[in-house]
Amino acid sequence: MTIRMSDDDQIEWRVAEGLVPYPDAVAFMEQRVAAIRAGSAPETIWLLEHPPLYTAGTSALPADLGPAPAFPVFETGRGGQFTYHGPGQRIAYAMLDLRRRGQDIRAYIRSLESWIIAVLAEFGVAGARRDGRVGIWVDRGAHALGGRREDKIAAIGVRVRHWVTFHGLAINVTCDLGHFAGIVPCGISDPRLGVTSLAALGRAATLAQVDSALRRHFATHLAQLPAAP
């Protein structure tokens, strides 16, 4: 585990080596969120990979999970539906104190989206929000069924306890997109909507390069959120 403290924002950045089991990650987040609330630990961004697994958010529907999942399934308290995590996907678990950032959950999620979009732009990918759909999407052009083909490249799932955030985001870098076939990702079954990654888009990015971009853009998008009205 590599741990670095940012001089300008006093965020502890943790970079895990190897694949982190999901229960271990949740246990750490639970402990760290309590410590941040108590003022005994710094805010933390944890960058990691999981072994292949599916997670079920609070809105997950049983019908969106295949009858014989190839990977373990974990129920989680984050928002959203089913998603996949695995090697080659950069997960950023953000444990931040919204008491210092305006106490506005919607503004926080918008800032996570802006953060991802700025990171993707460094690799020549135009990520975008879509009304009614969580995460960040890439326009892939006209679809044979009409309309546009759009692929999801990054997922967002957030939980907040006593104004301290945990869980966070996942950017598909080089992950095996075939592993998404075991679920209906985020409950979206429209055949014009799929998943993609930086590698599938022809961008030769490493996790380390994505990590560097995440750090560069953090202060601009998340150091201070708009105050709640």
**pLDDT (tens digit, 0 to 9) for every residue of the chain, 229 residues total?**
666 655 455 899 999 999 999 999 999 999 999 999 999 999 999 999 999 999 988 888 888 887 878 899 998 888 788 889 999 999 999 999 999 888 899 999 999 999 999 999 999 999 999 988 889 999 988 777 777 889 999 999 999 999 999 999 999 999 999 999 888 776 667 778 899 999 999 999 999 999 999 999 999 998 766 554 4
Least Cα distance to 168 among 60, 13, 62, 1 occurs for 13
User: Which position among 94, 125, 156, 186 bears the catalytic label?
Assistant: 186
Please state the φ and ψ torsions of residue 25, each to the nearest 5 degrees: -65, -45
Query: What pLDDT score does 229 carry?
Result: 45
**Annotated catalytic residue 175:** no
Fold that domain 2-222 belongs to in CATH: BirA Bifunctional Protein; domain 2 (3.30.930)
Q: What's the confidence (pLDDT) of residue 186?
A: 62
- Are the C-beta atoms of residues 25 and 48 closer than 8 Å to each other? yes
Helix (H) or strand (E) holding 128: strand 128-130
CA–CA distance, 229 with 226 (Å, rounded to integer): 9
Q: Helix-strand-coil percent breakdown of the chain, rounded to 5? A: 30, 35, 40
Domain boundary assignment for the chain: 2-222
pLDDT of residue 228: 47
Q: Which residues contact 196 (CB under 8 A, 6 or more apart)?
A: 138, 140, 151, 152, 153, 172, 177
Structure-token match 């940012």, residue found: 6
Residues 150, 222: Cα–Cα separation, whole Å = 27
**Distance of alpha carbon 177 from alpha carbon 198, whole angstroms:** 11
pLDDT of residue 140: 84
The per-residue pLDDT for 3 is 63
CA dihedral 153, 225, 13, 79 (to 10 degrees): -50
